[in-house]
Structure 1
Amino acid sequence: MSINDMSNSLEPTSIEQVAPRTVVFVAYPQMGLLDLTGAQTVLYAANRGLVEHGLPGYALHTASIEGGPVPTAEGLVVQTRCLSELADGPIDSVIVPGSPQILQTMADNLALVDWLRAAPATARRMASVCSGTFLLAQAGLLDGLRVTTHWVMADLFEQLFPQIELDREAIFVQQQSVWTSAGISAGIDLALALVEADCGRDMAMQVARRMVVYYRRPDNQDQWSPLLQSQYPAGA
C-alpha cells in the first residue's frame, strides 16, 4: 500500500510480544545520515511509549559488514556493530538507508548485498529509505513487486531494474513483507507506518505527536507536491 491508499483498516500485530523486536539498521560508508536516524528516532520514540505501558518495544542495532566507525555522506561518523554478531538471534526488521552516491555504493558493498540477499530467511520484513531501494533490488528482493525511491533517482532505477514496477509518486509502498520509501524524510513516514502495523494506530499517533511530525501526510501529497512546486522559482 502507499501513503495515499493506506486506511484505518490496517490490522496491527499484537504488541503483547514476549521480547523486544530486533531491528537492524544497516550501515555502510557514505550513507545518508537522516535516512538512518529519521527512522531510528521514530522507533526510539515508540520504545518510550511502549515502556510507559509496560510493554516490550524494539531492540535497535546499527550494524555494518565489518563493524566499527562508518562515515556518513554528511561527514558524521556512526559507530556500528558487526552484522555477523546478530546472526544467531531472530531479526524482526532490516532497514536500509540510501546514499547520494548509490552507484558507487552498489559497486563497493557486494558483501553487504550478499547479506541482504540472505536476510529474508531469518528477518520478518525488509525496508529501505530513499535510494536504499537500489540495494534491495540489487539483492534480488524486489522482483515482481511495486516499490518507490527518491524521485531524483527514478529514471536511473528504471534503467537498472526494468523488471521492477516503480511508483514514482508514493511516499512509501508496502508489498508483502517489503517496505520501500521515497527520499530522506519519507523514512519517517515509513517508520511510523511500521509502528502502526506493529503496535496500532494510537501508538503511531503518540510517536508523531512526540516528534511533532505528521501522523500521515495529506492524502493528496506526492513526492513533488503542488505546494513545493508553487514555491519553486519560475523557469527553474
Structure 2
Amino acid sequence: MHSGRVPAPAPAAPLRVFVLDDHEVVRRGVRDLLEAEPDIVVAGEAVTAREALARVPAVRPHVAVLDVRLGEGGSGDHAGVEVCRELRARMPELACLMLTSFDDDEALFDAIMAGAAGYVLKRIDGSDLVTAVRLVASGESLLDPRATARVMARLRAPQPEPEPVPFSAELERLSPRELEILELIGEGLTNRQIAERLFLAEKTIKNRVSSILAKLGVGRRVQAALLAGRLKEQQAPRR
C-alpha cells in the first residue's frame, strides 16, 4: 500500500485524530484501534457531516479520518468528500484520510480534487490504517497506486469536443443570484467561501446549491462546476 516506506517519526506531542463515520461499530473500531497506540489520541468523533464541520475546528486535530459515504441522515453519498473540501478550506494544515467500503473512481476523483491526503478501503488491515494515519500526518500523500493510476489516466485522456450547449433551457431556470453562485462553484469555492463572498448565511448557500443542482439536472457539485466552466467559455467572446 505504501511501497514499504518507513513511517516518519511520531511527533513529540500526541497525534490528534478526528473520526467521522455513521456506523457506530466502524467508528468505535477505528477509535479503539488508534487509541491503542501510545502516541495517538482520538480528539473527537461525529456521525454526520454537520457534526464534523462543527466539531473539527474546535478540537484542531492533525488528521481527520472521514467516511466517504454517510447515510441519508448524515448527508448521503460522497458527503465525506464535501466535509473534506470544507475542512481543508478552513484548515489547510489538516490532513484528511478518506475511508470507504467502495472502490469508486468517482469518489476517488472527487476526494483528490477536494484535497484529501489519502484514500483507503475499509478492508485495510488495522496496522496499515495506523500507518496510513501517521503517514498523512507527516505530510505524505497516500492514495492507492492502482486507483490513482486510473484517475490520472482519466485526467490525461483527450477530452471530446463539447457538444452544442444542451443546457441553455436549464440555465434559464436559474435566477441571477443562482447564476452568480454557479459561477463561484465553477471557481472551486466552498459553500462557506461563497457565503462570505456574497454576505449570506452558509445554510442559505447550501440550500441554493441544492436548488441549482436540481434545476440543472445533475447530482453532484463537480458536474455543476463543469457546466459553469462551459458557460464561462461561451460568455467570454461576448465580453
Smaller-chain TM-score range? Answer: 0.3 to 0.5
Q: Higher relative CO (CA 8 A, sep ≥ 6), structure 1 or 2?
A: 1
TM-score (norm 1): 0.42
Q: Which structure is higher in strand share?
A: 1
Q: Which structure is higher in helix share?
A: 2
TM-score (norm 2): 0.41
| Larger gyration radius, structure 1 or structure 2 | 2
